[in-house]
Amino acid sequence: MRVNYDDLTKTIAALTEGEDDVISLMATVACEVHQSDARFDWTGFYRVTGPEMLKIGPYQGGHGCLVIPFSRGVCGAAARTGEVQLVPDVDAFPGHIACASSTRSELVLPVYDSQGALLGVFDIDSDQPDAFDQDDVSGMQSVLNLAFAK
């Protein structure tokens, strides 16, 4: 089953209409995204909680790393640079943090609020190599903008 981003966006729009609590939004997005595609082994947020620091937020899947500095890993790179990290092979990513040994590929997107402030990053891990493409990047950016940048 591969995600239909139009349907996912409509579902999340309906579920989050009128909601402005960031944690509630993150929990809903993580749940819906996780269940939308068999490639998605772990889906969740790492929230900015201090200077150059991410802490785990709402997620679906096995355990994740509790704390990730901006200076480390794929999530840190997305937070530090403000750029999407599309990683086909996590073992080839310099400084990758292995929160789960099953992760083969990863997609991490920065998440901004309506004022352009970085809230954190949204991390999708897959146990399949090269699981993500530009359609996933575009689709997830639309979902995240709808939920958080409104």
Identify the CATH number of the domain in which residue 44 sits: 3.30.450.40
pLDDT confidence of residue 99? 78
Q: At what angle do helices 134-148 and 22-35 cross, to 10 degrees?
A: 150
Q: Domain span at residue 119?
A: 5-148
pLDDT confidence of residue 117? 96
pLDDT confidence of residue 57? 96
> Do 30 and 15 meet the contact criterion of CB atoms below 8 Å apart?
no
CA distance 67 to 63: 12
pLDDT confidence of residue 101? 81
Name the domain count of the chain: 1
pLDDT in tens, the chain (150 residues): 799 999 999 999 999 999 999 999 999 999 999 999 999 999 999 999 999 999 999 999 998 899 999 999 999 999 999 999 999 999 898 888 877 788 999 999 999 999 999 999 999 999 999 999 999 999 999 999 999 997
pLDDT confidence of residue 106? 96
Nearest to 125 by CA among 58, 41, 49, 48: 41
Tell if the pTM clears 0.85, that is, is over it. Answer: yes
By CB atoms closer than 10 A (0-12, 13-18, 19+), residue 82 is exposed
